[in-house]
Amino acid sequence: MLISDYTGTLSLDGELTSGVREALLQVADKFDVHIITADTFGRAAAELEGLPLETHKLKGPGSDHDLQKRQFLDRFDMRSVVALGNGNNDRLLLKAVKEGGGLAIAVDNGEGCAADSIQNANVFISGACNALDLLLKTDRLKATLRF
């Protein structure tokens, strides 16, 4: 199961970054994909149209988006979840996945990455395609997460 933020994680200024659509298609062959987003730029639905994934838009003005993302996880076994995020509102999602035995990846896709998200992740990586490639080329994670 892949649960990912959209804005700043898979997109830059609201648009999927180059190569992300193709990478999501490949990842969707191996994972159920859920995108959970505040949709800051209002482009997520259009950008993700036609991809084999589910999009979930957060409710309200944003004061509890971190909690909404964390609560979204309640329906899943954390050990089978990979989470991607970059913002402060992703920190609880990443923390819960990491503490629950899943894989939490903080992603800087050009809009920066909140320090709290980085601290609550197993891995920090630059670029959405690089993050998705970690799921497709798993030997890359062996070297990163090895003790």
List the domain boundaries for the chain.
2-145
Superfamily of domain 2-145: HAD superfamily/HAD-like (3.40.50.1000)
pLDDT tens string 63-104: 899 999 999 999 999 999 999 999 999 999 999 999 999 999
What pLDDT was estimated at residue 97?
Answer: 98
Quote the tokens at residue 147.
């003790």
* Helices (H), ranges, the chain: 20-28, 44-48, 65-72, 91-99, 115-119, 128-136, 139-145
Length of the chain (residues): 147
Cα 14–42–5 angle (5° rounding)?
60
The pTM score is 0.96
